[in-house]
Amino acid sequence: MSRSSEVLFAVNVWKYTYGKPDVCEIIEIYGPTKEKLETSRPVNSNVGGRLGYYVMKERNERIKNLNNYHVKNKYHQAGKMQEWEDEKKKVIMETNWKLRVLNEQEREKKKMQEAAEALLELSKAARDDVLKKERSEKAKRTREENKVKQSNQPLRRSTRIKKQRV
């Protein structure tokens, strides 16, 4: 995941500890993206890891707030129910975009990981080939040396057989 100076969005990560106040950690998501905000393409909300979980949690809280009786009633009394519906669609569209960006970054990260593993595998294979070649050369030299040594040695003759022939 390449980091550019452009912040795409921030994810609020709430940490709960018993007996202590809640702590909100803001994680900024950087980087280039090909995803467009207006796209209504379906998104897998399970992907994206823990950040995807927090994006969905934020979405559910915002939708719950909009569906609250008092908020909905204010829109209804003002005759702005279309704005209320548009607000809900906007929340859903934004969170879908965030999830698609997280999925895209996850895919890029996975692709880079696979490329790195392929390079490691290639270097290991090249190293193994060199070692195998060295071993075969050494074995070949040893065989040749043994043949030369064997040819230089006189043949072993048994003295018992020599006595029988005489």
Q: Where are the domains of the chain?
A: 7-38+46-132
What is the predicted pLDDT for the residue at 2?
46
pLDDT at res. 45: 67
The whole-number pLDDT of residue 117 equals: 95
Place of tokens 């008092």: 70
Could you tell me which of 50, 28, 44 has the C-alpha nearest to residue 96?
44
pTM above 0.95, yes or no: no
Q: Burial, 128: exposed, middle or buried (Cβ in 10 Å; 0-12, 13-18, 19+)?
A: exposed
Residues with Cβ within 8 Å of residue 55, at least 6 apart in sequence: 11, 48, 95, 98, 99, 102
Residue 5: per-residue pLDDT: 63
Low-confidence ranges of the chain (pLDDT < 50): 1-3
